[in-house]
Structure 1
Amino acid sequence: MKITKICCIGAGYVGGPTMAVIAQKCPHIQVTVVDLNEERI
């Protein structure tokens, strides 16, 4: 099974930066971040 898409629920102090690094280091993976607070995204 090859992972091609991931979704992070919560763009706080951990989720947002972590997903940014994953997106930068793994360009073949589609990264989606969701959060109730639109300003965090």
Structure 2
Amino acid sequence: MELSLQKILNEIHLIQDSLANKDSSNSNKNKTSQELLHKKLDDAE
């Protein structure tokens, strides 16, 4: 369970990184959503 969750998280990071590379103005928004996602996952544990 934990391993698959980590894989999903890594995929999200890769997607967000590629989106940020295409449009650098979104990088701050993407970083914020990543931080929120990590916080939610930490709270879920």
Q: Which has the higher helix share?
A: 2
State which structure, 1 or 2, has the greater radius of gyration over its C-alpha atoms. Answer: 2
TM bracket (short chain): 0.3 to 0.5
Ranked by relative contact order (alpha carbons within 8 Å, sequence separation 6 or more), the top structure is 1
